Chain A
Amino acid sequence: MVTRTHVHAGYLDAVLDRYGQSPDALLQILREIQEYAGYIDQGAISYLSNKLRIPGARIEGVAAFYSFLHLQPAGEYRVLFSDNITDRMLGSRELMQRMCQQLWVEPGKVSEDGLVSIDTTSCTGMCDQGPALLVNGRAITHLTHQRVQEIGQLIRNRTMIQDWPADFFRVEDNIRRSGLVLGNQIEAGEFLRAAFALGSTSNIVETIKQSGLRGRGGAGFSTGLKWAACRDAPGSEHYVVCNADEGEPGTFKDRVLLTRQADLVFEGMTLCALAIGARKGFLYLRGEYRYLLDSLQAALQRRRDANLLGKNILGKPGFDFDIVIHLGAGAYICGEESALIESLEGKRGVPRNRPPFPVTHGYLQQPTAVDNVETFCQAALAIHMGAENYHAIGTEKSTGSKLISVSGDCPRPGIYEYPFGVSVREVLQDCGAVNTRAVQISGPSGACVAEHEFGRKLCFEDLPTAGAFMVFDDSRDLFEVARNFVHFFAHESCGFCTPCRVGTSMLKQTMDKIAEGHGTQHDLREVENLDHVLQTTSHCGLGRTACNPVLHTLKHFRPAYENRLKSLDFEPAFDLDGSLARARQMTGRDDAGAHLNTEEA
């Protein structure tokens, strides 16, 4: 072990120094070790434990929490197929099977020569250009049989990933309809100057309040109220956090904003810093968007060079602010703001008890404003155009525009920006969807909307949404859609509270039981009971919404379930007679008593 420690010391010290030997940066440190070494071994853990003065168990606990960190060798090439329902509808399962056959490896296992592992991961945010996968954290889109075969060949030849065809890694923006935000061409710095022109910082908060701006992450809390509460909360430091952990399956608008409008995002964050009195900000970027890191760092550097970040921004004395990018490592739950803050502090992404809310006790227990990527863009625009003009867009209680991520069964998937209040039907028409059976609004935790509801409007008064808009045509089985979502929740439950940890797994087992033809009416009733338990006792929103996909599809598409049921009161989830097979084999018996028929029940 001594020699191993020496081997580590070289690159580990460099990583540790880069993060100022701070235990708060543990996740970033582990992520860099993962990128460098392919996995995090015991030697590295003991070394970190010594240097950072934290227990090895805590380090291991953090490493084990995040999907993209490995404590065991996971192959030189780690291939993760995005497993959202939209990827599946485009044939991802079959492609994954092909690649497994080609490379002689079982899903979820490392090949015997340690070359490659192939597995699935939750939605990677490429739903408009799927099926998609990640190889060693890099996104590859538009998978076809040919492309998968070429990837297999590259892996077999041990070609370095930087030498793979650049075309594989091309991520398209697919902007289909642009508006206020996506059409923004205002120069960087102009928003800050507009804010300075408002005079006092309290006028900024007041303008945001009057604009009616509400958070775009889904919950729709008033941004002005949040900023005011954060500003007024006592603390030694205030922080701005931009939530770019865009994990809700079917959502990819933040990816496009960070590609096209990074300056607008950062300008919004800087405005917020001015309003609440923060000197430090974080952009929490989901690990799946690792490929954006370099361009975002460059954008930050440009802003520093232009004095849009740093000390005395734009010559305003005492206005100091800078932004650090923090990368996630594959955990949906970190999109929940208090889990995100835990993760920022280098811990497992377990949601905190609320209250106290992050506006008073956030990052390092200091007042913290956490807002969605799109919210910061909208805030900057609201300041620039004035509260009244902004308020005129959208509906009475949902002002401004909203980016919608359209995917699934339609010829034109991509990003559509509308004023709030657009109907589901209008979006369907614009994306060219025909014979639509259902639309999943705002991801698995949102709502499944059937044809008779297509007149409903996307806004906080009617159908609130964080942006996902997954289209299913009449060839799709909504039971399988719901089952995919239920598996997603079971996988992403953080495991902290029992109702969610156990409940999401029970829900998954029930859905699998029904899928395998063992389901009964009793099981459908059990789902409703489970929903009650999860809703009333879960620690956070993940557990509270985990039953939604089933309840909503049961409401609109009950026959998709009933067709699969056995017409019995109850049926075991397993084959009773089959479970005697081993004993029959061992005893050599095959008499009537050595069998259990299913009819007797």
Chain B
Amino acid sequence: MSKKLRVATTSLAGCFGCHMSFLDIDERLFPLLELVEFDRSPLTDIKHCGPCDIGIVEGGICNAENVHVLREFRKNCKILIAIGACAINGGLPAQRNHLDLGSCMTEVYLTEPGLAHGHIPNDPELPLPLDKVHPLHEVVKIDYFIPGCPPSGDAIWKFLTDLIAGKTPELGHGRIKYD
């Protein structure tokens, strides 16, 4: 039997909905595990990813840490996939893009009562937010996109099995959804 493919997954500025949808492949996880092994992923709790064949990234890029993680994935994954509306278009988090970040922070931490004791958090442990939320392909090169919010378990299964079989993934009618 040929070597198992290594797969890493992560969620950046997303809601983990795409990961939940991934779990919707249900019992097909077992045949999948015959073919792949997981590197960094919420399934393994490995903190940094090593060399991988496939990287799957959910969510857009809203802060400096997202950039670091995405770059780590790009550096280590031969094939990098953007999954879901936020990864592809920025999605819901990008709704803040028409607001000035400074006034957002003022509103949240200074004007509104009850938060953060009247100052904007400045702990170096915290990643700084970017002034705009970006889709993944604006920050690194992305090889494939799986649209949907979230894409169905079937779509993810079809996409991965095509990829593992060495076929250019084709979701086909009924599996491509943009909402």
Q: Which residue of A570, A576, A587 is within 8 Å of B120 (Cβ)?
A: A587
| Contact present for B141 and A583 (CB under 8 Å) | no
Q: How far apart are the CA atoms of A524 and B61 in the complex, in Å? A: 24
Contact between chains at B141 and A586 (CB < 8 Å): no
Interface string of A561-594 (1 = CB under 8 A from B): 0000000011011101001111111111101011
**Residues of chain A lying within 8 A (CB to CB) of residue B100:** 582
Q: Which residues of B contact A522 (CB under 8 A)?
A: 141
B118 interfacial contact with A, CB 8 Å: no
Residues on B with C-beta less than 8 A from A584 are 128
Q: Please give, as numbers and ranges, the residues of chain A lying within 8 Å of B138 by CB-CB distance.
A: 572-574
Closest A residue to B72 by beta carbon equals A600
Q: Is A601 an interface residue (CB 8 A)?
A: yes
Taking the nearest CB of chain A, how far is it from the CB of B59, in angstroms?
Answer: 17
Q: Does B132 contact A (CB under 8 A)?
A: yes
Q: Which residues of B contact A594 (CB under 8 A)?
A: 64, 124, 128
CA distance A594 to B64 in the complex (A): 8
- Chain B residues with CB under 8 Å of A591's CB are 124
Asked if A589 contacts B124 (CB within 8 A), the reply is yes
- Whether A581 lies near B122 (C-beta < 8 A) is no
Interface: A306 (CB within 8 A): no
Contact B141 A593 (CB under 8 A): no
CA distance A368 to B146 in the complex (A): 47
Interface pair B129/A583, CB less than 8 Å apart: yes
Q: Is A596 an interface residue (CB 8 A)?
A: yes
CB distance from A17 to the nearest CB of B (A): 46
Number of interface residues of B (CB under 8 A): 27
Distance, CA A573 to CA B141, complexed state (A): 12
Q: In the complex the two chains form, is A586's CB within 8 Å of B131's CB?
A: no
Query: Which residue of chain B lies nearest to A593 when distances are taken between CB atoms in the complex?
Result: B124
Q: How far is the CA of A569 from the CA of B143 in the complex (A)?
A: 12
B102:A589 contact, CB within 8 angstroms: no
Q: Which residues of B contact A586 (CB under 8 A)?
A: 101-102, 105-106, 120
Q: Which of A570, A579, A596 contacts B140 (CB 8 A)?
A: A570
Q: Which residues of A have CB within 8 Å of B141? A: 522, 569-570
Give the nearest-CB partner of A569 in chain B. B141
Contact of A580 among B64, B120, B124 (CB under 8 A): B64
B134-155 residues at the A interface, CB under 8 angstroms: 134, 138-141
* Given A569-B141, A585-B102: A580 and B128 interface contact (C-beta under 8 Å): yes
Q: Please, how many angstroms separate the alpha-carbon atoms of A593 and B127 in the complex?
A: 7
Q: Nearest CB to that of A573 among chain B residues?
A: B138
Known: A580-B64, A582-B101, A593-B64. A587 touches B128 (CB 8 A): yes
Interface 0/1 of B33-54, CB less than 8 Å to A? 0000000000000000000000
Query: Does B69 lie at the interface of the complex (its beta carbon under 8 Å from any beta carbon of A)?
Result: no
- Contact (Cβ within 8 A) B102 A579: no
- With a cutoff of 8 Å between Cβ atoms, the chain A residues found around residue B94 in the complex are none
Contact yes or no, A588 B122, CB < 8 A: yes
| A327, chain B: closest CB distance, angstroms | 38
The distance in angstroms between the C-alpha atoms of A556 and B4, with both chains bound, is 46
**Complex Cα–Cα for A586 and B102 (A):** 6
Residue of B67, B128, B134, B140 with most chain A CB atoms under a 10 A cut-off: B128
Contacts of B71 in A (CB 8 A): 600-601
Considering only CB atoms, which chain B residue lies closest to A588 in the complex? B122
A583 to B127, CA, bound (A): 10
Contact A582 B139 (CB under 8 A): no
Residue B171, interface by CB 8 Å: no
* A/B interface sample: 15 pairs, CB < 8 A: A570-B141, A573-B138, A576-B130, A576-B139, A579-B131, A580-B131, A583-B130, A584-B128, A586-B102, A589-B122, A589-B128, A591-B124, A594-B128, A596-B68, A601-B140
- Residues of B at the A interface (CB closer than 8 Å) are 64, 67-68, 71, 74-75, 100-102, 105-106, 120-122, 124-125, 127-132, 134, 138-141
Q: What 13 new A-B contacts, CB under 8 Å, besides A580-B128, A587-B122, A593-B124? A: A569-B141, A570-B140, A570-B141, A572-B134, A572-B139, A583-B128, A586-B106, A587-B120, A587-B128, A588-B122, A589-B124, A596-B64, A596-B68
